[in-house]
Amino acid sequence: MEALLSAWFGQNGRDLPWRETTDPYAVLVSEVMAQQTRIDRVVPRWRRWLERWPTVEALAAAEPSEVIGAWQGLGYNRRALNLHRAARQVAEHGWPDDLTELPGVGRYTADAVACFAFGRDVLPEDVNVRRVQERTGARFTSAAAQALMDLGATVCLARIPRCEACPLAEACPSRGRRYAPQRRQGPFEGSFRQRRSVALRAALAGEQPCDAEAVAALARDGLVRVRDGLVSLPSTAP
């Protein structure tokens, strides 16, 4: 199956800019940005981020407020702070053997950086990779990682897979099946997530947010700080 997948990938693989580098910092940024964010939104933001902070040392030297501001529009702002904290840790101590020691880096992200940047023989299993392996019943090596991700993202879809376009369909025991829709996150409009976003945008603009509950949630995540009743962005200064 892996040979068929490789041939398909050669013709159909997505042209993603971070696939052209083995810089672990650039790969880490791409993986963190791509969590719960559409790839078409990530590509231009990844490029702008690397233009502004081209090295892990450059990001480590940035103020947290700068990082939060640059992240706006990607959602889940804690990812930005964790990426900044990870950069500071790497700049000071180097890349750890166990990448899960870095702030915000879980098993999948650690394996992705290990595979794509450091060339380690580990298969990073995101939702797309797991879906293809579960449906085909096959196991793949780390060499197939990018192909599996693309197959899961574009062909072996969650609800109605495009079996007619799949290079593995002939031997796939799940061929032709349809799946129940997955539970989706509630709408952003009117949600507490939106209230947090409004409060954070106010702080970024130098204003005082008036939503105390949203501010408290942001403060717990380290995205703002509250001193003497005044809300400000986090800073490396005391």
Three-class SS state of 65? helix
User: Which residues does 57 contact at the CB level (< 8 Å), separation at least 6?
Assistant: 87, 91
User: Cα–Cα distance between 110 and 193 in angstroms, integer?
Assistant: 27
Provide long-range contacts, Cβ within 8 A and 24+ apart, for 135-143.
135/161, 135/172, 135/173, 135/174, 135/177, 136/1, 136/168, 136/171, 136/172, 136/173, 136/174, 137/173, 138/1, 138/2, 138/168, 140/1, 140/2, 140/5, 141/2, 142/115, 143/2, 143/6
Among 31, 134, 207, 213, the active-site one is: 31
User: Cα–Cα distance between 64 and 78 in angstroms, integer?
Assistant: 11
Q: Count CA atoms closer than 13 A to 55's CA, side-chain side.
A: 5
- Is 31 a known active-site residue? yes
Structure token pair of residue 57: 């040392």
User: Cα–Cα distance between 90 and 84 in angstroms, integer?
Assistant: 10
Per the CB < 8 A criterion, the answer to whether 141 and 2 are in contact is yes
One-letter amino acid for residue 51 of the chain: E
Residue 23: name the closest of 163, 117, 87, 149 by CA: 117
Catalytic center residues? 31
